[in-house]
A = this chain, B = another copy of it.
């Protein structure tokens, strides 16, 4: 079940899910007109096909490891690593292990 969206000042738990990852699903953490945060839960082998979004994003690996394809390069993003992507940059993700990822998405004005 999705949690209610957080509001300004509210504590959000983004610690690794650990053994709970298999029973977890992606969920929106909050969304305002300017900013959206979500935790993607990607079982090994799952991902997102190539796409782009209007605004800049950051992709932070919380646990596991994902393969990120962007800027004509494929690289592995491991727990504790983060990548910033400029708005409009096409990218694709695939989980190399059971992973969770914090996405921070700037929304267009």
**Contact residues of A with B, CB < 8 Å?**
6-16, 29-30, 32, 34-35, 37, 55-56, 58, 60, 70-71, 73, 75, 77, 79-87, 89, 104, 106, 109
A30 touches B109 (CB 8 A): no
Cβ contact within 8 Å between A82 and B12: yes
Task: Evaluate contact between A13 and B80: CB separation under 8 angstroms.
Answer: yes
Using known A-B contacts A81-B15, A84-B30, A109-B109, determine if residue A37 contacts B10 with beta carbons closer than 8 Å.
Answer: no
Complex CA gap A8/B85 in Å reads 5
Closest CB in chain B relative to A31 CB, distance in Å: 10
Task: Say yes or no: B9 contacts A89, CB within 8 Å.
Answer: yes
- Which one, B9, B73, B84, B104, contacts A83 given CB within 8 A? B9
Assess whether A34 is in contact with B81, with CB atoms less than 8 Å apart: no
Partner of A73, one of B9, B75, B85: B9
| Alpha-carbon distance A11/B16, docked complex (angstroms) | 20
Residues of chain B lying within 8 A (CB to CB) of residue A84: 6-10, 12, 30, 32, 35, 37
